[in-house]
Chain A
Amino acid sequence: MSQTTTAPTIGFVSKKTDVRWIPVIGLEVHCQLKTETKLFCSCRYEFGASPNTLTCPVCTAQPGALPVLNREALALAVRVAVALGANVAPRTKFDRKNYFYCDLPKGYQISQFDQPFCTGGGLTLPSGKRVRLTRIHLEEDAGKAVHDRGDMTLVDLNRAGVPLIESVTEADMQTSDEAYEYLTSLKEILQYAGASDCDMEKGSLRCDVNVSVHPEGEGWRTKVELKNLNSFKNVKDAIEHEIERQIEAYESGDKSKFPVQETRLYDATTQTTRTMRSKEDAHDYRYFPEPDLVPFHVDAAFVEQQRTMLPELAEARRARYQRDFGLSPYDAGVITGSRAVADFFEMVVKLNGNAKETANWITNGVLANLSDPTIPAKTIDELPFRPHDLAELVELVTNHTIHNNVGRTVLRTMFETGKSPKQIVKEQGLEQVSDEGQLEKWCREALVGKDKVIADVKSGKTKAVAALMGPVMKASKGSANPELVQKILLRIIQTEM
């Protein structure tokens, strides 16, 4: 930032005016619920399916069709509410939000206006900061309009009617990092609750941001809404940019440049925002109670049932992994970063009882391979092998059947072929060789012409023998037992040379 410097405490102190500017940030997050069927009809939803194939009279708004609430969506929504410590309303209703757009087949969205199914609750960030939630409501997603086909706009209604929960925070955040942390924590909870994939790239998580800044000690100023944020990093960058833009605007002293209440679109390529619509253009959504759906009751027993269905969340697992398994905070954090990974980890540990080594193999082996673009599997769910196979691999390494480095090769082959580690070791003859006769033969070959090394070792620099390890391992295709090789090399040099 050109005019400001980051202060050690909250806010930005202007170099020009010495004013400390305090940002105020709130988030609105839309998450698609991972239900079998859409919110008000029995259509399935799948990202990337052929356009308009996952539709029916209800979600294409055929005349005469009516919505019926999917109880599974309500159950997941309540589970999220419970996970976030929110209060579930005993009686709630749906409302119609009226506006025209080509991806909104009914000309209204079924949403919740003045009686959201839950209020309150919140999240404690890893930094210890508490972010309160105002409300969470349930609504249906719109379809998708595709504008990149010349002068045509194509409409795909597959997504129309997919259940969404919209969570709105209080304006409790003051830095872009807090917003980033909030999103990460929220995503973690939703994934652990089994409620959503929270995949921004697939649109299953969308985030709008409200930002304002004010001089320390003064009241809040006009807030600006930011949209079109396609990644957590975008959210962070956009907030930083917007804070800077607003401070500069106020410090210019030119009232005509002061921030106005409006919605701005973020452009990730130029890292700038531009006006999308001003307050005057804001829609009058003409909310009114949805007459096609009767108000519904969520009784305490239902809420309790959802509470019992909530799995152990990430925070609790991280603590348990450190306490019971002795994992480092870092490893515990990486493994619990996704529920699927944590679940996989626990399944492997259940089989081999070796949490530390397993954690090591997951963080350095499995996850590293998943991020390799040449490997087809991208997520833990797409692994071509089962927990049983990884447990076997860890065991082969720890009982010295194969060397650690060989283990890495085997894991790679598992990713490529889906074969079990034992099978791979057998087929490629990778079992560690501890037969002294064979090892001695490789050692003697490696010593040929290595007079300098031999001299060093003989003069007491035994570490010099390391230079010979490579050739031996190479000759053995990695299968030589390294401890034995070192012993044999030293014995030959010291006793025979």
Chain B
Amino acid sequence: MSGFADYARLDATALREAIVSKRTTASQVVEAALARIAALDPELSAFSTVLADSARARAKELDAALARGEPAGALCGVPFALKSNMCVEGVEAHCGSKILAGYKPPYTAPFVQRLLDEGAILVGMTHMDEFAMGSSGENSGYAVAKNPWDTSRTPGGSSSGSCAAVAARMVPLSLGSDTGGSVRQPAALCGIVGFKPTYGRITRYGLVAFGSSLDQVSPFTRSARDMELVLSVISGADEHDSTCLPLPAIDPERSDSIRGLRIGVPKEYFASGLDADVRAKVEGAIAKLVELGAATVPIELPHTEYAIPTYYVVATAEASSNLARYDGIRYGPRTNGDGSLQSMIAATREAGFGPEVKRRILLGTYVLSSGYYDAWYVRALKVRRLIRHDFDEAFKSVDLIACPTSPTAAFRLGEKTDDPVAMYLSDVMTVPTSLAGLPAVSVPCGTVTLGGKQLPVGLQLIGPSLADARVLRAARVFEDATQHQREIYALAPSVREGAAR
């Protein structure tokens, strides 16, 4: 079976429509997905596990159910991929870490179950920075995913594989997790849509924790309408997560207009460090929003410069505690050490964690230590409140904020691996929103040419707390009005050849 010929051209909404209208079958779609993964993934290394058998079996079930006339789910037959820090019973979730090699969770995350219940088909787990700590996918204990536009470059991170998988049209939908930009930044660098909801809109139960007060499950899609669809399925209250808001799922807005929306443009996001070509694309996108009837308002977010240090105190403090459970006692590989318990735990963690994870555990342990706690952790929480306050003030006069998602287009693999601080700064545009817990989307807004290759640029739209649907509507209106989505099909030549094979 060669699969559905139009597969790579369609988004999730169109694929479902094709299946439901009997133009193709879920099985044909899954075959197309598996064929494309087989053709492209050897070069892109997006997938750590491909679940061909279970995907085929599930597709068959769905086709049979459709043939019996049963109602089709909202994502019927749509193949999707998960970041390896998400729990599905019996499917390895190694989190990009050697310390969880072979770990198969005994339960399925509710946000995954909601996708499955609507007929989506899980085709694989994707590579990532170890425990989501990284901005390029290079901190993986397994394989480094490549950017489909230029395989010498990063797809961004930490949800590198999930992003590359959608960008290369291997799947129309994947889930990543966004702690400080780990979905929005790769979405920008790979030319797809990435959305981090308001903190608490999607349950975190079954998402392996990095920074608990920041982590949010965040999808990648090819279109803004798909993003609205996915959010309407996976968001909403969940009794397993106390931090999940007791609200119904995000309800997509019907409006096709952004007329009258006041869009804030924060001067701090257009300062030095922003690539001139990226800046030009983002300014062009903002001009487009104005053309569509929105009004721009210059705003200030004065504490932006403190966001990165604040983030690296809060996130590492939480991580140092969240990662304490990896002690080799209950799961994962164990290294015995000299036989004592403490030695076994130390040796297991020494062998199992990579350098970036160790760096962050040390940092987090330090900022929580007695004598340093007030100076670091408590102060960081205060600055976090100031950053949130900046946004609260801004949203008194604007409906949305528009800015770049990333200061540069995709950088070369290896370019920043020796300089952790340079790597941290690549998240400078996404981290403040994470600290404030706000909804933010990255949508493609054109390409720049770098080293003779076209590379995508992302426009970030940020909304006030709980205005998820407004953010998504604006992304959809922008996308409909521009041709960037089509432009984005100009994939890297090697990937196109792979797809043709």
Contact = CB atoms under 8 A, between A and B. Distances in A.
Contact of A284 (B107, B205, B370): B370
A47 B242 CA distance: 28
B105 A108 contact: no
A296 to B, nearest CB: 9
B345 A100 contact: yes
A147 to B, nearest CB: 10
Contacts of A5: none
A63 B325 contact: yes
The interface residues of chain B, by DSSP majority, are classed as: loop
A61 B370 contact: no
B106 A57 contact: yes
A64 B327 contact: no
Interface of A: 57, 60-69, 96, 98, 100-102, 105-108, 151, 153, 155, 284, 286-288, 291-294
12 contacts: A61-B330, A63-B93, A63-B325, A100-B324, A101-B341, A102-B341, A107-B324, A286-B320, A286-B365, A288-B368, A293-B243, A294-B242
A60 B240 CA distance: 15
A156 to B, nearest CB: 12
A-B pairs, 9 with minimum CB distance:
A107-B324, A291-B212, A286-B368, A291-B213, A63-B208, A61-B325, A64-B206, A64-B87, A64-B208
Contact of B105 (A61, A64, A68): A64
Contacts of A151: 339
Interface string B73-91: 0000000000001110000
Interface in B210-242: 212-213, 239-242
A286 B321 contact: yes
B450 to A, nearest CB: 37
B106 A292 contact: no
A60 B106 CA distance: 11
A98 B204 contact: no
Contacts of B318: 291
Interface of B: 85-87, 93, 95, 100, 103, 105-107, 109, 204-209, 212-213, 239-243, 317-318, 320-321, 323-325, 327, 329-331, 339, 341-342, 345, 365, 368-370, 373, 377
A63 B377 contact: no
Contacts of B324: 98, 100, 106-108
B243 A291 contact: yes
Nearest to A157: B330
Contacts of B373: 286, 288
A100 B243 contact: no
Nearest to B109: A64
Contacts of A108: 321, 324
A106 B240 contact: no
B325 A105 contact: yes
A67 B240 CA distance: 7
Contact of A107 (B93, B207, B321): B321
A153 B368 CA distance: 30
A104 B242 CA distance: 22
A292 B214 CA distance: 11
B323 to A, nearest CB: 8
A101 B330 CA distance: 12
A155 B93 contact: no
Contact of B242 (A57, A63, A68): A68
Contacts of B242: 66-69, 292-294
Contact of B86 (A64, A66, A286, A287): A64
Given A64-B206, A107-B325, 13 more contacts: A62-B107, A63-B87, A96-B321, A102-B329, A102-B341, A106-B324, A107-B321, A108-B324, A151-B339, A286-B320, A291-B318, A292-B242, A294-B242
Given A60-B330, A98-B368, A284-B369, A66 B345 contact: no
A288 B241 contact: no
A294 B246 CA distance: 13
B93 to A, nearest CB: 7
Question: Most chain-B Cβ atoms within 10 A of its Cβ — which of A60, A101, A286, A287?
Answer: A286
A61 B266 CA distance: 42
A368 to B, nearest CB: 47
A325 B206 CA distance: 60
Given A106-B325, A286-B368, A63 B105 contact: yes
A100 B341 CA distance: 9
B329 to A, nearest CB: 5
A155 B329 CA distance: 9
B369 A66 contact: no
Contact of A288 (B317, B323, B329, B331): B317
Contacts of A96: 321
B324 to A, nearest CB: 2
Question: Most chain-B Cβ atoms within 10 A of its Cβ — which of A63, A64, A69, A102?
Answer: A63
A286 B206 contact: no
B4 to A, nearest CB: 33
A65 B205 contact: yes
B330 A107 contact: no
Nearest to B324: A107
Contacts of A100: 324, 327, 342, 345
Contact of B240 (A63, A66, A102, A105): A66
A294 B204 CA distance: 14
A65 B203 CA distance: 11
B107 A57 contact: yes
Contacts of B329: 102, 105, 155
Contacts of A64: 85-87, 93, 105, 109, 204-209
Contacts of B321: 96, 98, 107-108, 286, 288
Contacts of B317: 288
Nearest to B95: A63
Nearest to B349: A100
Nearest to A41: B240
B428 to A, nearest CB: 23
Contacts of B377: 288
A483 B212 CA distance: 82
Contacts of B341: 101-102, 153
Nearest to A145: B341
Given A100-B345, A108-B324, A284-B369, A66 B241 contact: yes
Contacts of B208: 63-64
A67 B242 CA distance: 7
A68 B209 contact: no
A284 B370 CA distance: 7
Contacts of B86: 64
Nearest to A63: B208
Contacts of A61: 325, 330
A60 B216 CA distance: 23
B59 to A, nearest CB: 27
A66 B327 contact: no
B316 to A, nearest CB: 12
Contacts of B95: 63
A106 B141 CA distance: 22
Contacts of B105: 57, 62-64
A101 B365 CA distance: 17
Nearest to A288: B368
B107 A66 contact: no
Contacts of A288: 317, 321, 368, 373, 377
Nearest to A153: B341
Nearest to A40: B242
Contacts of A287: 368
A157 to B, nearest CB: 8
Nearest to A69: B242
Nearest to A284: B370
B100 A63 contact: yes
Contacts of A291: 212-213, 243, 318
Contacts of B212: 291-292
B286 to A, nearest CB: 35
